[in-house]
Structure 1
C-alpha cells in the first residue's frame, strides 16, 4: 500500500524567463526562453511525492480563474487527491515571476493571491484528513497560523510533521515543538537560528540550535554540498548528486516531496535524505518546477558519508 501523505500549501502559476544574468535594481535585460508552468511550493512538493510513489492528498486554495482550474486538472492528472481543494471567489490564483540565469541560479517574486486566504477555519473542516495522514508536509507560502494549526493537530495525533521553512520567516517557539523534521536551506537556517551557514561546521551549529528549539530531526540542505542530517544527536553528511544544473527553481520542493515518500515508506532519515538528494539532482537538470520532478523509476541507489 502506498504511503499516505498530506501536503498543505500553496499553488501558483510560474512565469519563467531564462536570461544571461539576473537583473540588478533598475536594470532591464533581454531574456531568452519564456515558459509558463504550474508551480507553488505546496503543489510542487505534492506532485514530486505523487510521482515518486506516494498516495498524496493536497489541500490548497486557488482562485476561481483559468490558472486555478488548470492547476486542479493537472493535480488530477498526477493522481493526487484534490477532494479537499478550496476555491476563492474574491482573490486570484497565486502567480510567481521567475528569472533563471545561465548558471541556473534564480530569483523569484510571488503574488500569493488565494494562497494567503487559506485559513485555520478552512482547515478545521478537514481535521479528519489531517489525522488520517501518516505524514504531513507543509511550507510557508500560506498563512503561518494555518501551518501552526495543522502542525499541532498532526503532532498530537502522533503523525510525522515535516516543515520546509520556505520562504524563510521567524517562527513562533510553540511551532518548533510540533515539528518532527525541519528542512531549511542555508539562508533559511541562518534566519531561524542567527548562525550564518557557510559550511558543514556552521551548519552543525545551526542544527543544534534548531534541536534545542524542540525539533526532533533537522536536515539542512547545502546546495552543491548536499545536506546535513542531525538525528539522534548524530550528524550525517549526504553528498549531492554530481550533475550539470540547468534550473534550480524547484530543487528544494522535489527534495521535500521525495523525503516524505521515503520517510513514509519506513526508511531512516539518512536513507530518505539520500533518496531526496537523488531526486533533486535529477530535477535541477530540467527546466520548470513541477515539470522537473522525476518519476520513481529514475531514482537509483546512492550512498552517504558520516561525519563527526
Structure 2
C-alpha cells in the first residue's frame, strides 16, 4: 500500500477572520475603561486624597494608555480590540487634539509674561534679563525672595520703569501702574491686584502664587490649602468690575483641574485658546504639566507660549492679548 500524507485543513476565509473578533476582549474592555476615564473624569470622586484633581492634573497624559493597548491588540491580532481602541483615541483627540497645533496669530495690544522665579534662583539678574528679552510690556514674578528683589529691579529698571511688589509677588511694567494692593488668599501675601494703563486702555492684572501641592502615600494629593486659596482668589476676581481682567501666576494646578473651576468658569486660559502646543511649564527640565497660567476676561488672546528655561524650576509663560 502507498502511504499518504494528510495536509492541514486551512479554515475558510470567514471562519478564519471570525477568530480575530473573538480574541482580545480583555484589551477591548481596558480600551472602553480608558475612554470612560477621559470622558467622565469629572465623575471621579475627589475622595480619598483628591483623586479626581490628581487625575485631571495629568489628564492629557492618559492618552498614552492607548499605546500599550494598541501593541497588545496587534500581538493578539485582535480586530475587536483594534476597533474598540478608536473610542479612547477619538475621546482624547476631541479633548486635546487642537492643542497639538500652533494656534497663535499675529498682532495684539499687550504681551504679558508670568514666571515663578524660584526663591533659590542662582541668577536673578540673568533671569530678569531673559524675561525682558521677550519684549513683553508687563512681567509678573512669583516666589520673590525679599533680599533678591533689588536684583530683579535693577535688571528690569531700564525697560520697565514702573513696578510694584507685595509680599512674594510683583509686577514690572513699561506702562504706568495704579491702585496696587495685596489680595488676601493666605495668611501671608502671595497675591496682588494692580491696574495697568496702556495707550489702548486700562487692564486690571492679578498676580497670584497659590499654595504648593504634594502627593503623599498617607494623604494622597494634598491640595486642600490650594483649593481654599483658589476660592478666595476667585472671589476677588469676581468682585472686580473692570471690563478687562488678566489673572496670572503659579496656580499649582492645571486648567483641567476641577479645583480651578471658580476661575475657568469666569476667565479663559490663553494657552487653550491661542497656544503653541500644550505649554507645559513644570518641572522646567522635563515639563509634564502646565501649572503656570494666564487667564483673561474681556480681551481676546491672540498668542500664548512658553519661554526658554531660566534659573528656576518653572518655565516662564507668555501671552499676547488684543483689546
TM-score (norm 2): 0.34
TM-score (norm 1): 0.35
